[in-house]
Amino acid sequence: MKFKCPFCNAERSSIREDENIEEIMKWVEANDAASINLLANFYEQGRQNIQQDPTKAVELYARAAELGFSKAHYSLGMHYKKVGDMKKAKFHYETAAMAGHDGARYNLGGLEAQSGNLERELLSIGILLHQLGIIMPCITCNLDSNKVVLGENQSTPFWQLTTNPVPR
């Protein structure tokens, strides 16, 4: 993934954890979502000589999520699941899943199973398998997996959307 420097517009291939914290803070101040998410990670896990502060981490993840960073939505989903707020966890997992985050898609299926909605769990898993290239949607139905997660195509089970069988 390519990132642009908010100061000079130079492209960078990634933001590394081993970068100087002052450099990362400059990017955070410039509202770079990836840097904000990285800083949130530091606060969550107490890394890079930053005191562990889960509350600050959630604030920073929320800021990165507002900027559209799917990994931040995934992290918020993990947080809210951990504290028992399944409604917020599901929202953040859905948002990250719609952006293509595989872990969020998997966890979303798990939440569906826990709530007893096995059909939606299977649908979520089917979409994940499609994202991973294991199964393909039916050419004739041209299903949009983003609509499935929102419930617009709930009546079609994922196994009817595939032309290739799931490997065993």
Specify the pTM: 0.66
Helix (H) / strand (E) element for 3: namely strand 3-4
Q: Where are the domains of the chain?
A: 3-121
In terms of Cα–Cα distance, which of 109, 107, 100 is closest to 130?
100
Residue 148's pLDDT is 46
121 close to 145: Cβ distance less than 8 angstroms: no
Angle at 103 between CA 100 and CA 105, to 5 degrees: 60
Please measure the distance between the N-terminal and C-terminal CA atoms of the chain and give it in whole angstroms.
Answer: 33
Place of tokens 């908010």: 6
**Amino acid identity of 147?**
K
Residue bearing the bigger pLDDT, 124 or 57: 57
Q: Which CATH class is domain 3-121?
A: mainly alpha
Instruction: Output the six-digit token pair for 95.
Output: 């948002």
pLDDT at res. 150: 41
Query: Is the distance from CB of 121 to CB of 101 less than 8 angstroms?
Result: no
Q: Write the DSSP assignment of 11-70 as a string of letters.
A: EES---TTS-HHHHHHHHHTT-HHHHHHHHHHHHHT-TT----HHHHHHHHHHHHHTT-H
pLDDT digits (tens, 9 = 90+) for 99-126: 888 888 888 888 877 777 767 667 777 7
Per-residue model confidence as pLDDT tens digits over 73-86? 999 999 999 999 99
